[in-house]
Structure 1
């Protein structure tokens, strides 16, 4: 009586394993070069903003240290750490995406 249940499960698994054949392809849509330039400009804007955030955080850290403001000192340290992490991620964005994209192509 329950022979239909495993068959439905098997069909669902086969459906999930179906390869639709979609692959990233350069030149498929117009405007790809413009989009790349826009993303590069946004990345550069982010890096410039991080430089400002890092400088301000370092100033707050120094001011807090020399004035005895422990709260300001801790916030400055936190800001420097966050800015450094953002700079790392912005600089490594292409590599991170390329790494996970290539890992994704290996999933079967």
Structure 2
């Protein structure tokens, strides 16, 4: 019985990084993403105002369920604003973490 030994061949190190000129329309995509972030922040402010009004009506009308829903809405709106504002920083942080894995 013959033993065949196949040498395992690994490709060379892959070195790929994001570039700005790989695809057409990258600048337009950046503008669209920025506009989406702006819309998200504006909607967060609107949701915060609406939730605060609901919280106020619930507190003034002795309706604990409505007041509780208003408080929850305020927290959700603030969380959404934090995520919209920190999206770029979060993606860059996790990109850097991913680049450190070898």
Q: TM-score, normalised by structure 1?
A: 0.81
Aligned to 2:81: 87
Question: Are 2:77 and 1:77 equivalent residues in the alignment?
Answer: no
Cα deviation for residue 37 of structure 1 reads: 0.1
Q: TM-score, normalised by structure 2?
A: 0.85
Q: Which 5+ residue runs of structure 2 have no aligned equivalent? A: 1-7
Aligned to 2:24: 30
Q: Which has the higher helix share?
A: 1
Indicate the RMSD between aligned Cα atoms, in angstroms.
1.7
Aligned to 2:50: 56
Per-residue CA distance 1:3-40 (angstroms, 9 max, x = gap)? xxxxxxxx7xx97xx85332212221110000000000
The CA distance in 2 between the partners of 1:69 and 1:27, in whole Å, is 57
Query: What is the aligned residue count?
Result: 94
In the TM superposition, structure 1's runs of 4+ consecutive aligned residues that sit over 6 Å from their partners are: none
Distance 1:20 1:60, change over 3 A: same
Per-residue CA distance 1:31-90 (angstroms, 9 max, x = gap)? 000000000001100111111100000000000001001000000000000000000010
The CA distance in 1 between the partners of 2:14 and 2:67, in whole Å, is 54
